[in-house]
Amino acid sequence: MKVGLIRCIQTEDMCPGTTCFKVMKGKKCAFEGVMEEIEIIGFNTCGGCPGKKAISRVQEMVKRGADTIVLASCITRGNPIGFSCPHAEKMKEAIVRKLGNSIKIVDYSHF
């Protein structure tokens, strides 16, 4: 699995991505049951509200080999402060529209 991960830019001051990296390495949470090796192609932010830059950023990740796009839990579940992204659904829809069905979208990273 070649992962491109997008996280919320607003949480950068609170989290350097530690749990995302840990769950990918240990194949836990969103990565439980993944049999193949997990390679991280890229780790980037949404670019700031309202998240429009996420679309071109995931396109770039796919260009560089990502076959799976992960929207981190700080976007979809509000980690670590319980404040999820108000634009998460639109962001995901726009990504799916742009990338089509050949790329897997995972809409969280950890619990």
Q: Binding residues for ligand SF4, per CB under 6 A?
A: 7-11, 15, 17-20, 46, 48-51, 72-75, 79-80, 85, 87, 109-110
Our CB check for ligand SF4 shows the closer of 6 and 102 to be 6
What is the DSSP track for 74-96? HHHT-TTTT---TTHHHHHHHHH
CB of 37 to ligand SF4, least distance (A): 20
Compute the radius of gyration of the chain from its Cα atoms.
13
DSSP 8-state symbol, 20: H
Our CB check for ligand SF4 shows the closer of 2 and 52 to be 52
Contact 60, 42 (CB under 8 A): yes
CB of 76 to ligand SF4, least distance (A): 9
Our CB check for ligand SF4 shows the closer of 102 and 111 to be 111
CB of 7 to ligand SF4, least distance (A): 4
The per-residue b/e assignment along 97-111, b for 16 or more CB within 10 angstroms, e otherwise, is eebeeebeebbbbbe
Our CB check for ligand SF4 shows the closer of 48 and 65 to be 48
CA dist 32 and 25 (Å) reads 10
CB of 36 to ligand SF4, least distance (A): 21
